[in-house]
Amino acid sequence: MEEKLHPKVYSIGELCTVLDVGRNTAYDLLNSGEIRAFKMGTTWKIPISNVDEYLNNQCDKYAESIRPKKKEMCKIIN
């Protein structure tokens, strides 16, 4: 049986799907450094772990703005 490799990076299209954002927003997140990524030639490679880190940071920012009791509800399960 052939084993399928688990991708460790997203493409720009996959990032758009995961975050449910348009391409312009995705490129803004990458170009600003909010999501750490790199280019191979002209193609963006976005490590999944960096997207998880971004989501956790966004969740923490939101959680700080609401009651502490709700903070646990906002953690992303890896």
Q: Is the pTM of this model over 0.85?
A: no
Say if residues 47 and 36 touch (Cβ distance below 8 Å): yes
**Strand, coil or helix: what is 40?**
strand
Model confidence pLDDT, tens digit, residues 16-46: 999 999 999 999 999 999 999 999 999 999 9
Cα–Cα distances in angstroms (integers) from residue 15 to residues 1, 3, 43, 57, 65, in the given order = 30, 24, 13, 16, 26
Paired tokens of 12: 């720009």
Q: 23-32 and 12-19 are packed helices; what angle lies between their axes, rounded to 10 degrees? A: 100
